Amino acid sequence: MDVERLKAKADEISELEIKRLLDRTPGSAELHERAVRSLPKGVASNFQAGDPYPVYLQRGQGSKVWDVDGTEYVDFHGGFGVNVVGHAHPKIVEAIRKVADQGIHFAVTTPTTVALAEAICERFELEQMRFVNSGTEATMDAIRVARAATGRDRIVKMEGSYHGHHDCVLFSVVPESDVLGTRFHVSGESADAEGTAYTTQPTSKGVPRSMWNDTIIVPFNDAQAFEDVARQHGDEIAAVILEPVMMNIGIVVPQPGYLQALRDTCERHGIVLIYDEVKCGGTIAYGGATERFGVRPHLAAFAKAVGGGATVGAFGGEARIMEYVTKGAAQQGTFNGNPLSVAAGYAALTEVLTRDAYEELAKMGTLLAEGCQRAIDENDIPAHTVDLGAKGCVSYRREPLRNYRDFLETIPELFYASFSWMINRGLFLTPGDEEQWTVSVQHTEEDVRRYADAFGEFCAELAA
Ligand SMILES: Cc1ncc(COP(=O)(O)O)c(C=O)c1O
């Protein structure tokens, strides 16, 4: 199918659907007008912003959410992958209510805090862990502890990966094309002689330029690139941090042998292997990426789904590394292990997100992915689906992605047309093509069919 014609059709669909969206969301328009006075862009976080305004939500129940105009949607946004338990799950609500009656905050460790730590350690095969309050804090503290344990400053991260908004990982998150050239054409910023690793400017304003040198970038799914940089700079590198399955450019699964090769290189050079399981930890298997892919990291960072909707973050791993939090590495926080959050997390992990639940989530996810793939095939759309437990996505490129550069070959126009099409048909999705759907334990086959049917109609319209 002619891609230029498809893009033109997608733009047509977008124009029509965005107009419909604006016509039917006057309550969001009004709230936006009020919100921009106190909140830049009218939102609590840059990732919540929308153009010209986001659809603001009022409430959620089960698999559904309602916007401020009272319109109902089936929720596949899932709070950016947090809500694998769905909304207002009775077990989570009960746990939070109980705590609300008994003291919401002490800044003192409680029995439930310890119980949740035990549950997280058991589930994700960690010897020890500490609590934090977000994915950002989890990766930040994991990196600090790795630096403390190795006495080294530099870290390696993957091109195009997101690990939260602390300074040292805000490099090459969405790299521009002029920087991408560095990997193949060795220039001043190449970090190794092969030119496969590079250093670059911060992705965010406000990150000190002086930090450039300490974050080295390599491509995902390229064990040799990491081996090269480790061979040349191994004694300067504290850690390599990666999502074992990249989930901020659609979904990119690790090639067979890749994670083991990284681990082997780390072992040889005394580098700490850190998995960022913030997104995949509570979603792709009971035991997260370690269980699903069978290669254990030295440290791992968690947040999102492990809190059952409350603000829980955690990081942990080998005790010989974690012990550095008692040997001079700062690891603290007033709200760490907050009773309200840990009660929700404990109920989520022990009563809702059981092994059986992951079997059901996988069935639901496969039903959805197969439905979408059928629509793609029938209409010859240049796209593919990825199916991974509670997570999945459509990426607008025929072949599966191996790294960030493949993601740059996807066709964003098709995604944006699909987004407004779906939201106008009662399906609440994440607003960017880098994101995925999240299925919850409260989603039904009917919910999933509704998504697949609407997506099928979208593909047919695109191809018409
Ligand atoms: C892989 C990954 N790591 C870290 C983070 C940061 O988590 P938080 O937004 O809770 O700070 C995110 C957030 O989307 C993420 O996707």
Q: Which of 9, 279, 304, 391 is catalytic?
A: 304
For ligand 1, what atom is nearest to the CA of residue 139? 4
| Separation of CA 430 and ligand 1 centre (Å) | 14
In terms of domains, do 112 and 174 share one?
A: yes
In terms of domains, do 197 and 296 share one?
A: yes
In one-letter notation, the amino acid at residue 83 is N
Residue range 367-411, pLDDT digits in tens:
999 999 999 999 999 999 999 999 999 999 999 999 999 999 999
Residue range 195-225, pLDDT digits in tens:
889 888 888 999 998 898 999 999 999 999 9
Longest Cα pair distance anywhere in the chain, in angstroms?
A: 65
Residue 148 has a pLDDT of 98
For ligand 1, what atom is nearest to the CA of residue 161? 1
In terms of domains, do 99 and 223 share one?
A: yes
Residue range 135-179, pLDDT digits in tens:
999 999 999 999 999 999 999 999 999 999 999 999 999 877 667
Q: Is the CB of 243 under 6 A from ligand 1?
A: yes
Q: Is the CB of 134 under 6 A from ligand 1?
A: yes
Confidence band, pLDDT 50/70/90 cuts, at residue 288:
very high
Residue 245 has pLDDT above 70, yes or no: yes
The answer to whether residue 277 sits within a structural domain is yes
Residue range 295-327, pLDDT digits in tens:
999 999 999 999 999 999 999 999 999 999 999
**Contact (Cβ atoms closer than 8 angstroms) between residue 366 and residue 326:** no
The answer to whether residue 364 sits within a structural domain is yes
The alpha carbon torsion through 395, 400, 406, 412 (nearest 10 deg) reads -10
In one-letter notation, the amino acid at residue 197 is A
Mean pLDDT across the stretch 54-81? Answer: 98
Residue range 414-464, pLDDT digits in tens:
999 999 999 999 999 998 889 999 999 999 999 999 999 999 999 999 999
The DSSP result for 373-415, as a single string, is: HHHHHHTT-S-EEEEETTEEEEESSSSPP-SHHHHTTS-HHHH
Strands 72-75 and 128-132: unpaired
In terms of domains, do 308 and 444 share one?
A: no
Nearest 5°: the CA angle 283, 158, 313 is 40
The answer to whether residue 130 sits within a structural domain is yes
Residues 6+ apart with CB under 8 A from 400: 252, 253, 384, 386, 406
Q: From the CB of residue 312, how many other CB atoms can be counted at a distance below 10 Å? A: 32
In terms of domains, do 367 and 248 share one?
A: no
For ligand 1, what atom is nearest to the CA of residue 134? 10
Residue 383 has a pLDDT of 98
The answer to whether residue 322 sits within a structural domain is yes
Supply the angle between the helices 3-23 and 412-423 in degrees, to the nearest 10. Answer: 30
Quote the tokens at residue 197: 């690793």
Residues 6+ apart with CB under 8 A from 336: 130, 131, 132, 133
Residue 91 has a pLDDT of 98
**Contact (Cβ atoms closer than 8 angstroms) between residue 251 and residue 407:** no
| Separation of CA 17 and ligand 1 centre (Å) | 30
Quote the tokens at residue 233: 């700079």
Confidence band, pLDDT 50/70/90 cuts, at residue 193:
confident
Q: Is the CB of 300 under 6 A from ligand 1?
A: no
In terms of domains, do 377 and 364 share one?
A: yes
Q: Is the CB of 169 under 6 A from ligand 1?
A: no
**Contact (Cβ atoms closer than 8 angstroms) between residue 147 and residue 238:** yes
Residue 210 has a pLDDT of 87
For residue 290, give the 3-state DSSP assignment: helix
SS (H, E, C) 300-365: EEECHHHHCCCCCEEEEECHHHHHHHHCCCCCCCCCCCCHHHHHHHHHHHHHHCCHHHHHHHHHHH
Q: From the CB of residue 302, how many other CB atoms can be counted at a distance below 10 Å? A: 33
In one-letter notation, the amino acid at residue 40 is P
Q: Is 162 considered catalytic here?
A: yes
In terms of domains, do 156 and 15 share one?
A: no
Residue range 264-284, pLDDT digits in tens:
999 999 999 999 999 999 999
In terms of domains, do 435 and 367 share one?
A: yes
Helix runs in 52-134, H state only: 78-81, 90-102, 111-124
For residue 75, give the 3-state DSSP assignment: strand
Residue 370 has a pLDDT of 98
In terms of domains, do 361 and 338 share one?
A: no
Q: Which of 272, 230, 241, 222 is nearest to 162 (CA)?
A: 241
Q: Is 198 considered catalytic here?
A: no
Q: Which of 75, 192, 214, 276 is catalytic?
A: 276
Nearest 5°: the CA angle 248, 254, 259 is 115
Which CATH number is 455's domain given? 3.90.1150.10
Q: Which of 34, 35, 79 is nearest to 60 (CA)?
A: 79
* Half-sphere exposure in the Cβ direction for 216 (13 Å, CA): 25
Nearest CA to ligand 1 atom 2: 163
The answer to whether residue 82 sits within a structural domain is no
Residue 186 has pLDDT above 50, yes or no: no
Q: Is the CB of 157 under 6 A from ligand 1?
A: no
Q: Which of the listed residues 307, 336, 352 is the one where a domain comes to its end?
A: 352
| Separation of CA 163 and ligand 1 centre (Å) | 5
Confidence band, pLDDT 50/70/90 cuts, at residue 187:
very low
The answer to whether residue 242 sits within a structural domain is yes
Pocket test for ligand 1, best of 141, 304, 312 (most atoms within 8 A of CB): 304
Q: Is the CB of 303 under 6 A from ligand 1?
A: yes
Q: How far is the C-alpha of 300 from the C-alpha of 394, rounded, in Å?
A: 27
Mean pLDDT across the stretch 230-257? Answer: 98
**Contact (Cβ atoms closer than 8 angstroms) between residue 130 and residue 315:** yes
Confidence band, pLDDT 50/70/90 cuts, at residue 8:
very high
- Domain limits for position 48: 3-76+355-463
Number of domains into which the chain is organized: 2
Quote the tokens at residue 183: 């990997």
In terms of domains, do 145 and 291 share one?
A: yes
In terms of domains, do 319 and 384 share one?
A: no
Residue 258 has pLDDT above 80, yes or no: yes
The answer to whether residue 85 sits within a structural domain is no
Q: Is the CB of 292 under 6 A from ligand 1?
A: no
In terms of domains, do 126 and 232 share one?
A: yes
**Contact (Cβ atoms closer than 8 angstroms) between residue 335 and residue 309:** no
Residue 182 has a pLDDT of 63
Q: Is the CB of 339 under 6 A from ligand 1?
A: no
Nearest CA to ligand 1 atom 16: 279
Q: Which of the listed residues 294, 327, 352 is the one where a domain comes to its end?
A: 352
Please provide residue 220's backbone torsions phi and psi, each rounded to the nearest 5 degrees.
Answer: -70, 155
**Contact (Cβ atoms closer than 8 angstroms) between residue 211 and residue 167:** yes
Which CATH number is 264's domain given? 3.40.640.10
Q: Which of the listed residues 352, 372, 390 is the one where a domain comes to its end?
A: 352
Residue 181 has a pLDDT of 67
The answer to whether residue 84 sits within a structural domain is no
Residue range 77-124, pLDDT digits in tens:
999 999 999 999 999 999 999 999 999 999 999 999 999 999 999 999
| Separation of CA 279 and ligand 1 centre (Å) | 7
Residue 54 has pLDDT above 90, yes or no: yes
Q: Is 416 considered catalytic here?
A: no
Mean pLDDT of the chain: 95
